[in-house]
Amino acid sequence: MPRRKKAGNQARMGEENAAPQADINQKIKKFEYDLVQTSLFPEYGDGEASVSEAVKKEKEKKKKAEKLAAAEGMLDEILGDDKKGWVNVYRLLKAVQDYQLYTATDCSSFSAWLRKYAKRCHVSTQTLWRYQKCGRYFEELEKAAKKKGKQLDIDPAKLSSSGMALIARLARNDPQKGARLAKDLVDGRLPQSQLSQMWRAQRAEMESRGEKAVMANGYEAKQFASSFSEPADKEDKIKAADIVRALQDATWLPGRVAPKDRPPYVRDQYLCLTEFPVRAQTTTRHLDALIVENCTVESEDANFRLWLHGIEIKVSEGDLKGDKKMEEYAEFVDRMWIAISDDSPELWTAAEERIRENPGWGLLMIGHDGTINVIIPADGEAMKATDDRAGVFRETTLMTVIHKLHLT
């Protein structure tokens, strides 16, 4: 009898916990629907010339502020009552980023807003980023299933973020395997402890056979490396020149202003200058790449302002760890990035450690197909907040740009 009573209590507790969960799901669904409706049907049509651009922008900013406050309120509710509700956290973070709700604040980027919010609600920034990465991976599984005409019959809310991360490692670039593992985990056929054991065993086996795990699209993938294929492996490795070629295209820039939102007289400018010289103290040194652009500048300032991005390219862990001068380059730019290849998990780990030492720096990962993945967005404000000399010589950099382009 006592056991039956305990089971009854647990059932009632489950029902009580399910009710708030269903309530927050409904809130988020309505929130997402309202965002879509607002983007499809703005308050002012193109023909209403009587309404000034300033009034439109002010009303748009006010609406974004209201939506952001609603998103933060729901995040507070989820993180306060259920820290395992990573799916709903991801949905809200995705909405804030995709609809640029953070622009209603004094934050110039999504990452700046994320850090500010995390600090306010006493949540680890890394935790929020992990939730977002897990959400993106689950969406990749859904897209892969859809391409095959199937539906991914899995409730992500029944998966933990740590379980999703393990699945991503085990499945690597095989979304079908990832879907099977996720289904088995949800249905109880595969405990998470066994997932951890599977990953440890798989990793040990790979190392014993001369294989190595490399990162691809934010998760680990397999690449063979043996004495028989060493020449081809060296040939296949991403070189600095490959990364430079990938940087010639502006599409990787986070926070780009859409051309349709630009006045007709504004032209997007994007220039990648390699081996760019800067005068550090009494020595001339060279940035691997300097990006000069107005693609992320607000429309009203796009003809009058340029952002400067310094990029240091690293294709090996030794090259990164041996570079002791990199931090000096922050004095000459608005934002700093480390660009790496996806050939080595050790390089990724070393790059993340270097960025932790330099808050506000960004991390780019370049794939063999030239795709650039923004792993950690750069944040100029955060960089300046922790480095008093960040950006102090940006005007000197601009003058050097003009001189190199022979515009004087």
pLDDT at 184: 92
Pick from 79, 101, 98: which is nearest to 88 by CA? Answer: 79
The continuous run of DSSP H or E covering 17 comes out as helix 2-40
pLDDT at 270: 93
Cβ–Cβ < 8 Å for 151, 145: yes
For 274, the token pair is: 């390699």
Q: Using an 8 Å Cβ cutoff, are 348 and 212 in contact?
A: no
Cα–Cα distance for residue pair 78/14, rounded to 1 Å: 17
Could you identify the residue written with the tokens 């110039």?
A: 108
d(CA 261, CA 69): 24
pLDDT string in tens for the chain (408-residue length): 344 434 444 444 444 455 556 688 888 889 888 888 776 555 555 555 555 777 778 888 899 999 999 999 999 988 876 545 889 999 999 999 888 899 898 887 787 788 888 888 887 776 787 788 888 889 889 998 998 888 888 989 888 888 888 888 788 778 889 999 999 999 999 988 888 888 888 777 766 665 444 333 333 333 333 322 333 334 456 888 889 999 998 989 998 888 777 777 788 889 999 999 998 766 888 999 999 998 888 877 767 789 999 999 999 888 898 888 889 999 999 999 999 987 777 888 889 989 999 999 999 998 877 889 899 999 999 999 988 899 999 999 999 998 877 654
| Structural contact between residues 72 and 29, judged by C-beta atoms closer than 8 angstroms | no
CA distance 158 to 177: 18
Run of H or E residues at 220? strand 219-224
State the DSSP H helix or E strand holding residue 129, giving kind and residue range, or none if neither: helix 125-147
Give the up-direction half-sphere exposure of residue 36: CA atoms within 13 A in the CB hemisphere: 7
User: Cα(296)–Cα(127) distance, rounded to whole angstroms?
Assistant: 27
Helices (H) and strands (E) in the chain — how many of each?
A: 14, 8
Residue 215, classified by CB atoms within 10 Å of its CB into exposed (0-12), middle (13-18) or buried (19+), is buried
Q: Count other Cβ atoms within 10 Å, centred on residue 390.
A: 26
pTM here is 0.50
> What pLDDT, on a 0 to 100 scale, did the predictor assign at position 221?
36
How far CA 348 is from CA of 203, 212, 214, 304, in Å, comes to 17, 14, 9, 36
pLDDT of residue 234: 41
Closest CA to 121 of 178, 76, 177, 156: 76
